[in-house]
Amino acid sequence: MTSHDHDHHHHDHDHSELSETQLRVRALETILTEKGYVDPAALDLLIETYETKVGPRNGARVVARAWSDPAFRARLLKDATQAIAELGYAGRQGEHLVAVENTPRLHNMVVCTLCSCYPWPVLGLPPVWYKSAPYRSKAVKDPRGVLADFGFELPAGTDIRVWDSTAEIRYLVLPMRPAGAEGWSEERLADLVTRDSMIGTGLPKQPHEVA
């Protein structure tokens, strides 16, 4: 795709449909392209990689498989790195993965208090808030307060465990499957999985939200 074609492709879209982050990315892309720092075709390939091959969609597929396949779930909880590799997801920032399972009595949440270690192969690039100092400090001191900041509360009897990612170990939360999704295909189940539910700062969607 030539530079002209690339610009035309972008201008065909209604910017009102783009998120603030997407608009910022487009603006940065335009500047870098105009200055000759990046090749638009190479940038398209990189973006496609992170959108389709590296990112929350991968993690959603992992969770959906665990929800629908008890044997895979057992392998995931025993050795997440190996189990996730079965689905073709591996690479940088994903060498040592640990899956932690939510239950009615235990909710897991992931943070990286020192920097922003994050399981790229299954969650993509970390969101800005994950890297922020307020989240990194409050997640450890007041996890229930963090969940309230994200808009939900857990029952008083549910314990919260915070896992601190490091350069050696990164965590993936296996959320509980929502009621009403029994018998769903993996593809449909994956639609319920949100990025935040795999970090522990959110919950999966309810079946009626994707029906």
DSSP of 111-156, one letter per residue? E-SSS----HHHH-SPPHHHHSHHHHHHHHH-HHHHHHHTT----T
112 is an annotated ligand-binding site residue:
yes
Is there a binding annotation on residue 116? yes
pLDDT of res. 203: 96
Is 132 marked as a binding-site residue? no
pLDDT of res. 6:
40
Cβ proximity of 118 and 112 under 8 Å: yes
Hey, where are the domains in the chain?
3-53, 58-210
> 58-210: which CATH architecture?
Alpha-Beta Complex (3.90)
- At residue 15's C-alpha, the angle toward residues 201 and 46, to 5°, is 65
Q: Give yes or no for residue 170 having a pLDDT over 90.
A: yes
- Please report the pLDDT score of residue 89 as a whole number: 87
Active site residues: 112, 115-117
pLDDT (tens digit per residue) in 81-111: 999 999 998 766 557 899 999 999 999 999 9
Positive or negative torsion for Cα 148, 130, 93, 56: positive
Known binder of ligand: residue 117? Answer: yes
Contact by Cβ (8 Å): 181, 188: yes
User: Structure tokens of 8?
Assistant: 């035309």
